[in-house]
Structure 1
Amino acid sequence: MTNEDMTIRNVDPTLPERPLAGRIALVAGATRGAGRAQAVELGRAGATVYVTGRTTRARASEVGRTTETIEETAELVDAAGGTGIAVPTDHLDEDQVRALAARIDAEHGRLDVLVNDLWGGEHLLVRSVFGKQSWETPLADGLRILELGVRSHVITAALLLPLLIRSDAPLHVEVTDGTARFNRRYRDNMYYDLAKNAPIRLAFGLAQELAPYGGTAVAVTPGFLRSEQMLAHFGVAEENWRDVVAHEPSFGISESPYYLARAVAALAADPDRADRWAGKSTSSGELARVYGVRDVDGSRPDAITYFEEVEFGGKEAPPEDYR
């Protein structure tokens, strides 16, 4: 299955057609992976989607990938039936984020959905986190992880929330790695643990602040994400990703970026989302069960439960039992 195939398939037949028509969304960090897919699926549901990131056709970010750009993401949103608007933005630069907010204000006067999917620190994990204690991580790299995974989220929330509360039903989505329950286990390194738990607390707190405005916030996580970078790491494409399973069995529970994206689009279209999810952290697998969403191959993987029960819990079961 090609990336084009993934972006033209319907989200789910049970959802009303274009339930987000007329809604204004921002996906911060939409260059690739789950951020790109969420932008596309929000657009497919009818939204106008501002997509931001640091990699453009003219300039690459520190991640070093030039094969995905925010302009391409905006075009995929358009192709899915939405309206994609690419705005190059470094979310660690307050002036750039203020300019983004001013543009959305001038063009629409409000924001309905804010997806905070900022990260871009994978290269630092390989270099300075995996297999290292925190004191073995170069301080500059550790602080950069916190900038990319925490400070960028705080800046974006602080400067976009004034637009979000003008909506009649504001939704703030924090994208991270792991649920609150899953992250009771130490995430291997102090810097990474902090970076991936902070968005969960952000969502918890912002749900309290948005409630008087008829809105809510929720933290979401993919399972084992089969992102463009992950596929490149294993030397496969979406069409043949199962070739990896022979030497990496846990890859059998992996999911495409569109799995979480379809679930988030369904959440955004749910009029009862505040009652269901306010301040909580949830996963693609849990959201998929609630909303009847499936991945691009028709499966419904639950990587979080697989890792809890099999990888960490000692249960003997193949990944296929959790798809």
Structure 2
Amino acid sequence: MTDLRDRVALVAGATRGAGRGIAVELGAAGAVVYCTGRSTRAARSEYDRPETIEDTADLVTAAGGTGIAVPTDHLDPGAVGALVTRVERDHGRLDVLVNDIWGGEMMVEWDVPVWEHDLDNGLRTLRLAVETHLVTAHHALGLLSRTPGGLVVEVTDGTEAYNAEHYRLNVFYDLAKIAPIRLARSWAHELRGHGGTAVAVTPGWLRSEIMLEQFGVTADTWRDACVAEPHFAISESPRFVGRGIAALAADPDRHRWNGRSTSSGELGRVYGVDDVDGSRPDAWRYVTEVQDAGLPADTTGYR
């Protein structure tokens, strides 16, 4: 069983989606989890959605960990510095940093050339998806590096191999999703002398709150969406990538992953963890071999 009862984690961007799933599964393994983001019960971010970091923290605690919600704009270096100072004051250590900040869903225009894409929205997307990760790493990695064995996870969309071969939607999204993979390699280099490990991790086709809403389904009725989009059959809950990352954090030999890009499917296979429905989806292999190949939807052998 995954045991993180002595670990302190910071999930930056824990409000919803993969960030929430990761935070909850770290909590289920017993970790103290700081859950950060801009959407709180008192005020919403530009997403204007109902999910909050307080809700995530409550889910972490209910799962068996200790969830701590800290409202944080990760574009504000002062706020991030204060967050890390609080973690240091309260615990004196940071064992796991998950950089999951994104924030671009409402601004990305699909398959639009750069000269037609709204420039302000594109540059804002890059600030939210890349600059936030740099600001967070600047303030948090000093504390994490003090304890040998620290883990940094850069969450993205797509493996290194897939993103190297495919143009992802538009130039702003493409840059936003390749950048965390390069950042993980940078952190791997910088933490090597401190016993730290950095990995880029991508979930598969994620059944996030926003995705379920777009299909008009719920977490329980998600299979109904396969009528409109048959390949949605390979999708996964946010808890699946969380379980893989929790297992990675508990692995005493996790340094073998240093600098690598991996997926929820690969982590599930290596660590023997399943999604909440008992399946083990391997979405990126499916996307490459079935969906992109133009074959009919069939998840046999992929979950």
Determine if the TM-score, normalized by the shorter chain, exceeds 0.5: yes
Q: Quick one: distance in 2 between partners of 1:97 and 1:139?
A: 27
What is residue 136 of structure 1 aligned with on the other side?
A: 116
Output one character per residue of 1:125-147: Cα deviation in whole Å (capped at 9) or x when no partner: 2xxx2131121111101101101
Alignment partner for residue 79 of structure 1, among 59, 62, 68?
A: 62
1:225 to 200, 206, 219: 206
CA RMSD of the aligned region, Å?
1.1
Matched residue, 2:103: 120
Aligned match for 2:188, one of 203, 207, 214: 207
Q: Deviation at 1:237?
A: 0.4
How far apart are the structure 2 equivalents of 1:247 and 1:229?
A: 16
Match of 1:33 among 1, 5, 17: 17
Question: In the alignment, is the contact (CA less than 8 A) between 2:23 and 2:56 conserved in 1?
Answer: yes
Quick one: which of 216, 225, 231 aligns to 1:235? Answer: 216
- Structure 1 stretches of 4+ moved >6 Å: none
- 133, 155, 160: which one aligns with 1:153: 133
Secondary structure, aligned partner of 2:33: strand
State the Cα distance separating 1:259 from its structure 2 match. 0.5
Indicate which of 257, 269, 272 corresponds to 2:250.
269
Structure 1 contact 38–265 (Cα < 8 Å) conserved: yes
Give the alignment of 1:102-117 within 5 angstroms: 102-117=85-100
Please give the per-residue CA displacement for 1:60-92, whole angstroms capped at 9, x wherever unaligned. Answer: 0111102x1111111111111111110000000
- Counterpart CA distance in 2 for 1:188 and 1:37 is 25
Q: Which residue of 2 aligns with 1:169?
A: 149
In structure 1, how many angstroms separate the alpha carbons of the residues matched to 2:290 and 2:204?
Answer: 14
Q: CA deviation at 1:287?
A: 0.6
How far apart, CA to CA, are the structure 2 residues paired with 1:247 and 1:73?
A: 30
What's the CA shift for 1:316? 5.1
Figure out how many residues of one structure are paired with residues of the other and give that number: 302
Q: Is the 8 A contact 1:26 1:49 kept in 2?
A: yes
1:208–1:216 Cα contact (<8 Å) kept: no
User: Equivalent residue of 2:10, what SS?
Assistant: strand
Distance 1:140 1:124 in 2: 9
Alignment partners' CA distance in 2, 1:222 and 1:320: 19
Quote the offset at 1:247 in angstroms: 1.6
Structure 1 contact 38–258 (Cα < 8 Å) conserved: yes
In the alignment, what sits opposite 2:52?
A: 69
Quote the residue 1:306 is aligned against: 286
- 1:43 aligned residue (27, 31, 36): 27
One-letter amino acid matched to 1:72: D
Q: Per-residue deviation at 1:105?
A: 1.2
Which residue of 2 is the match for residue 91 of structure 1?
74
Q: Secondary structure at the match of 1:86?
A: strand
State the one-letter code of the partner of 2:280.
Answer: R
For 1:245, the aligned partner's letter is C
SS in 1 for 2:136: helix
* Gap regions ≥5 residues in structure 1: 1-14
Q: Is the 8 A contact 2:230 2:297 kept in 1?
A: no
Determine the C-alpha separation between the residues in 2 that align with 1:196 and 1:111: 26
The answer as to whether partners of 1:253 and 1:320 remain within 8 angstroms in 2 is no
Question: Could you tell me how far 1:118 is from its partner in structure 2?
Answer: 0.3
Aligned equivalents of 1:229 and 1:272: distance in 2?
Answer: 35
Alignment pair present for 1:282 and 2:265: no
> Structure 1 residue 315: deviation in Å?
4.7
Q: Which letter maps to 1:104?
A: V
SS at match of 2:139: helix
Secondary structure, counterpart of 1:56 in structure 2: coil
- TM-score after normalising by structure 1: 0.91
Mark the runs of 5 or more structure 2 residues left unpaired by the alignment.
none
Name the CA distance, whole Å, in 2 between partners of 1:216 and 1:107.
Answer: 23
| Inter-CA distance 317–121: structure 2 relative to 1 (3 Å threshold) | closer
Identity level (%): 62
The aligned amino acid for 1:164 is: L
